Amino acid sequence: MWFGKSIPAAVLFDLDGTLIDSEPYWIKSERELAEKHGAAWTQDDGDSLIGMSLYDSSRIIKERIGSDLEPQQIIDHLTSAVNEHLKREIPWRPGAKHLLRDLKRRGVKTALVTMSMRRTALQVVEAIEFKAFDVVVAGDDVRHGKPHPEPYLKAAELLGVAASDCVAFEDSITGLLSAEAAGTKAVGIPNMMIIPQIEGRVLWPTLEGVGVKDLKQLFRNK
Protein backbone atom coordinates (compact mmCIF):
# COMPACT_ATOMS: atom_id res chain seq x y z
CA MET A 1 0.00 0.00 0.00
CA TRP A 2 1.28 3.47 -0.85
CA PHE A 3 2.06 5.34 2.38
CA GLY A 4 0.27 8.67 2.55
CA LYS A 5 0.53 8.97 -1.26
CA SER A 6 3.73 10.98 -0.85
CA ILE A 7 6.00 9.31 1.68
CA PRO A 8 7.86 6.09 0.78
CA ALA A 9 6.29 2.96 2.20
CA ALA A 10 9.74 1.96 3.50
CA VAL A 11 13.38 2.95 3.28
CA LEU A 12 15.99 0.23 2.86
CA PHE A 13 19.62 0.80 3.81
CA ASP A 14 22.79 -1.01 2.88
CA LEU A 15 25.21 -1.24 5.82
CA ASP A 16 28.90 -1.19 4.91
CA GLY A 17 29.88 2.04 3.22
CA THR A 18 26.35 3.44 3.19
CA LEU A 19 25.17 3.52 6.79
CA ILE A 20 28.58 3.12 8.42
CA ASP A 21 32.09 3.69 7.09
CA SER A 22 33.22 0.11 7.72
CA GLU A 23 34.75 -0.79 4.36
CA PRO A 24 38.27 0.11 5.65
CA TYR A 25 37.72 -2.45 8.43
CA TRP A 26 37.00 -5.14 5.87
CA ILE A 27 39.99 -4.26 3.70
CA LYS A 28 42.31 -4.17 6.73
CA SER A 29 41.08 -7.59 7.84
CA GLU A 30 41.51 -9.00 4.32
CA ARG A 31 45.04 -7.61 4.13
CA GLU A 32 45.97 -9.12 7.50
CA LEU A 33 44.61 -12.51 6.43
CA ALA A 34 46.59 -12.31 3.19
CA GLU A 35 49.77 -11.45 5.10
CA LYS A 36 49.31 -14.54 7.27
CA HIS A 37 49.40 -16.53 4.04
CA GLY A 38 52.46 -14.70 2.74
CA ALA A 39 50.39 -13.01 0.05
CA ALA A 40 49.92 -9.39 -0.94
CA TRP A 41 46.55 -7.65 -0.73
CA THR A 42 46.17 -4.24 -2.34
CA GLN A 43 43.58 -1.51 -2.02
CA ASP A 44 42.35 -2.46 -5.49
CA ASP A 45 41.89 -6.06 -4.32
CA GLY A 46 39.74 -4.86 -1.45
CA ASP A 47 37.80 -2.37 -3.55
CA SER A 48 36.92 -5.08 -6.07
CA LEU A 49 34.95 -6.96 -3.39
CA ILE A 50 32.90 -4.01 -2.09
CA GLY A 51 29.20 -4.77 -2.13
CA MET A 52 29.73 -8.42 -3.01
CA SER A 53 28.26 -11.37 -1.13
CA LEU A 54 30.73 -12.75 1.42
CA TYR A 55 30.07 -16.19 -0.04
CA ASP A 56 31.34 -14.97 -3.39
CA SER A 57 34.16 -12.79 -2.05
CA SER A 58 35.50 -15.53 0.25
CA ARG A 59 36.01 -17.82 -2.74
CA ILE A 60 37.90 -15.05 -4.54
CA ILE A 61 40.03 -14.38 -1.46
CA LYS A 62 40.81 -18.08 -1.07
CA GLU A 63 42.09 -18.26 -4.63
CA ARG A 64 44.03 -14.99 -4.58
CA ILE A 65 45.92 -15.68 -1.35
CA GLY A 66 46.29 -19.43 -1.87
CA SER A 67 44.58 -20.33 1.39
CA ASP A 68 43.82 -23.84 2.64
CA LEU A 69 40.88 -22.39 4.59
CA GLU A 70 37.40 -23.18 3.37
CA PRO A 71 35.28 -20.19 2.22
CA GLN A 72 33.10 -20.42 5.34
CA GLN A 73 36.22 -20.30 7.53
CA ILE A 74 37.35 -17.17 5.70
CA ILE A 75 33.92 -15.62 6.22
CA ASP A 76 34.01 -16.44 9.93
CA HIS A 77 37.54 -15.08 10.33
CA LEU A 78 36.86 -11.79 8.54
CA THR A 79 33.50 -11.30 10.26
CA SER A 80 35.05 -11.74 13.70
CA ALA A 81 37.87 -9.35 12.83
CA VAL A 82 35.49 -6.66 11.57
CA ASN A 83 33.21 -7.10 14.57
CA GLU A 84 36.16 -6.46 16.87
CA HIS A 85 36.74 -3.13 15.11
CA LEU A 86 33.04 -2.30 15.44
CA LYS A 87 33.14 -2.98 19.17
CA ARG A 88 35.66 -0.16 19.48
CA GLU A 89 33.99 2.28 17.08
CA ILE A 90 31.05 2.37 14.71
CA PRO A 91 31.94 5.11 12.21
CA TRP A 92 28.65 6.53 10.94
CA ARG A 93 28.39 7.97 7.45
CA PRO A 94 27.38 11.65 7.31
CA GLY A 95 23.64 12.18 7.75
CA ALA A 96 22.77 8.48 8.08
CA LYS A 97 21.68 8.40 11.72
CA HIS A 98 19.83 11.72 11.41
CA LEU A 99 17.83 10.36 8.48
CA LEU A 100 16.99 7.19 10.40
CA ARG A 101 15.68 9.29 13.29
CA ASP A 102 13.58 11.37 10.93
CA LEU A 103 12.10 8.25 9.35
CA LYS A 104 11.21 6.70 12.69
CA ARG A 105 9.61 9.96 13.89
CA ARG A 106 7.41 9.88 10.77
CA GLY A 107 6.53 6.21 11.26
CA VAL A 108 8.19 5.12 8.01
CA LYS A 109 9.23 1.46 7.94
CA THR A 110 12.94 0.71 7.61
CA ALA A 111 15.10 -2.29 6.78
CA LEU A 112 18.82 -3.00 6.88
CA VAL A 113 19.84 -4.97 3.78
CA THR A 114 23.45 -6.09 3.93
CA MET A 115 25.75 -8.78 2.59
CA SER A 116 27.56 -8.87 5.93
CA MET A 117 26.63 -11.75 8.20
CA ARG A 118 23.65 -11.33 10.48
CA ARG A 119 25.82 -11.19 13.60
CA THR A 120 27.60 -8.13 12.21
CA ALA A 121 24.34 -6.45 11.24
CA LEU A 122 22.80 -7.07 14.66
CA GLN A 123 25.91 -5.82 16.43
CA VAL A 124 25.43 -2.47 14.71
CA VAL A 125 21.63 -2.43 15.12
CA GLU A 126 21.85 -3.21 18.82
CA ALA A 127 24.36 -0.40 19.36
CA ILE A 128 21.93 2.23 18.03
CA GLU A 129 20.24 4.08 20.87
CA PHE A 130 16.79 3.91 19.29
CA LYS A 131 14.86 1.24 17.38
CA ALA A 132 16.17 2.07 13.95
CA PHE A 133 15.08 -0.94 11.90
CA ASP A 134 11.93 -3.00 11.59
CA VAL A 135 13.65 -5.73 9.57
CA VAL A 136 17.20 -6.97 9.01
CA VAL A 137 18.14 -8.99 5.92
CA ALA A 138 21.76 -10.17 6.00
CA GLY A 139 24.02 -12.17 3.75
CA ASP A 140 23.24 -15.44 5.51
CA ASP A 141 19.48 -14.80 5.20
CA VAL A 142 19.33 -15.09 1.41
CA ARG A 143 20.19 -17.65 -1.21
CA HIS A 144 21.34 -15.11 -3.79
CA GLY A 145 23.45 -12.15 -2.75
CA LYS A 146 23.76 -8.74 -4.39
CA PRO A 147 23.64 -7.90 -7.32
CA HIS A 148 20.70 -10.34 -7.38
CA PRO A 149 17.43 -8.60 -6.37
CA GLU A 150 16.57 -11.21 -3.71
CA PRO A 151 17.89 -9.25 -0.68
CA TYR A 152 15.75 -6.19 -1.43
CA LEU A 153 12.73 -8.18 -2.51
CA LYS A 154 12.91 -10.15 0.73
CA ALA A 155 13.15 -6.98 2.83
CA ALA A 156 10.09 -5.49 1.14
CA GLU A 157 8.17 -8.74 1.57
CA LEU A 158 9.02 -8.92 5.29
CA LEU A 159 7.87 -5.32 5.70
CA GLY A 160 4.63 -6.05 3.85
CA VAL A 161 5.19 -3.40 1.19
CA ALA A 162 5.84 -3.34 -2.55
CA ALA A 163 9.50 -2.93 -3.49
CA SER A 164 8.46 -0.25 -6.00
CA ASP A 165 7.16 1.86 -3.11
CA CYS A 166 10.51 1.74 -1.31
CA VAL A 167 13.63 3.88 -1.40
CA ALA A 168 16.94 1.99 -1.19
CA PHE A 169 20.32 3.53 -0.42
CA GLU A 170 23.54 1.93 -1.68
CA ASP A 171 27.19 2.96 -1.97
CA SER A 172 28.41 0.31 -4.45
CA ILE A 173 27.51 -0.56 -8.01
CA THR A 174 26.89 -4.18 -6.95
CA GLY A 175 24.41 -3.12 -4.30
CA LEU A 176 22.78 -0.52 -6.51
CA LEU A 177 22.21 -3.09 -9.25
CA SER A 178 20.46 -5.29 -6.68
CA ALA A 179 18.19 -2.47 -5.53
CA GLU A 180 17.44 -1.40 -9.11
CA ALA A 181 16.67 -4.96 -10.18
CA ALA A 182 14.25 -5.30 -7.27
CA GLY A 183 12.32 -2.30 -8.57
CA THR A 184 13.00 0.04 -5.67
CA LYS A 185 13.64 3.74 -6.10
CA ALA A 186 17.37 3.17 -5.73
CA VAL A 187 19.72 5.97 -4.76
CA GLY A 188 23.48 5.65 -5.04
CA ILE A 189 25.58 7.41 -2.41
CA PRO A 190 29.14 6.88 -3.73
CA ASN A 191 31.76 6.38 -1.06
CA MET A 192 34.89 4.39 -1.95
CA MET A 193 33.71 3.48 -5.44
CA ILE A 194 32.70 5.45 -8.51
CA ILE A 195 29.14 4.60 -9.54
CA PRO A 196 28.58 5.22 -13.25
CA GLN A 197 25.78 7.60 -14.13
CA ILE A 198 23.30 6.11 -16.56
CA GLU A 199 19.90 7.29 -17.71
CA GLY A 200 17.34 6.97 -14.95
CA ARG A 201 19.87 6.31 -12.18
CA VAL A 202 19.72 8.54 -9.11
CA LEU A 203 23.00 9.51 -7.45
CA TRP A 204 23.33 11.78 -4.42
CA PRO A 205 26.67 12.98 -3.06
CA THR A 206 25.74 12.41 0.60
CA LEU A 207 22.95 11.73 3.07
CA GLU A 208 23.97 14.83 5.01
CA GLY A 209 20.91 17.05 5.41
CA VAL A 210 18.58 14.51 3.76
CA GLY A 211 15.15 14.09 5.34
CA VAL A 212 11.76 12.60 4.52
CA LYS A 213 10.91 15.71 2.48
CA ASP A 214 13.73 14.86 0.08
CA LEU A 215 12.54 11.27 -0.32
CA LYS A 216 9.08 12.48 -1.36
CA GLN A 217 10.65 14.12 -4.40
CA LEU A 218 11.83 10.74 -5.68
CA PHE A 219 8.16 9.81 -6.22
CA ARG A 220 6.94 13.11 -7.61
CA ASN A 221 5.89 11.37 -10.85
CA LYS A 222 4.44 8.30 -9.19
Nearest of 84, 222, 118, 209 to residue 166 by alpha carbon: 222
Q: Tell me the percentage of the chain whose pLDDT exceeds 70.
A: 96
Domain boundary among 54, 72, 88: 88
Domain boundary among 71, 88, 105: 88
Nearest of 152, 193, 148, 202 to residue 173 by alpha carbon: 193
Is 2 a residue whose pLDDT tops 90? no
Domain boundary among 50, 69, 88: 88
Structural domain harbouring 143 = 10-21+92-217
119 and 34, same domain (yes or no): no
pLDDT score of 3? 44
99 and 203, same domain (yes or no): yes
52 and 106, same domain (yes or no): no
Q: What is the CATH number of the domain that holds 77?
A: 1.10.150
Nearest 5 degrees, angle CA 60-CA 122-CA 91?
75
Residue 3 lies in a domain: no
108 and 205, same domain (yes or no): yes
Give the chain's domain count: 2
145 and 185, same domain (yes or no): yes
Is 185 a residue whose pLDDT tops 90? yes
pLDDT score of 219? 83
pLDDT score of 4? 45
The answer to whether residues 171 and 187 touch, using CB atoms and an 8 Å cutoff, is: no
Which residues neighbour 147 within 8 Å (Cβ) at sequence distance 6 or greater? Answer: 51, 174, 175, 177, 178, 181
36 and 107, same domain (yes or no): no
165 and 177, same domain (yes or no): yes
**What 3-state DSSP class applies to 114?**
coil
154 and 96, same domain (yes or no): yes
Q: What is the pTM of this model?
A: 0.91
203 and 163, same domain (yes or no): yes
42 and 74, same domain (yes or no): yes
68 and 172, same domain (yes or no): no
Residue 4 lies in a domain: no
Q: What are phi and psi of 110, to 5 degrees?
A: -135, 150
| 3 state SS for 44-73 | HHHHCCCCCCHHHHHHHHHHHHCCCCCHHH
Residue 65 lies in a domain: yes
pLDDT category of residue 193 using cuts at 50, 70 and 90: confident
Q: Tell me the percentage of the chain whose pLDDT exceeds 90.
A: 86
pLDDT score of 221? 58
Q: How many CB atoms lie within 10 A of CB 192?
A: 17
50 and 98, same domain (yes or no): no
pLDDT in tens, 195-209: 999 999 999 999 999
- CA 24 to chain CA mean position, Å: 14
Residue 107 lies in a domain: yes
pLDDT in tens, 6-37: 689 999 999 999 999 999 999 999 999 999 99
Over residues 138-156, mean pLDDT: 97
Residue 56 lies in a domain: yes
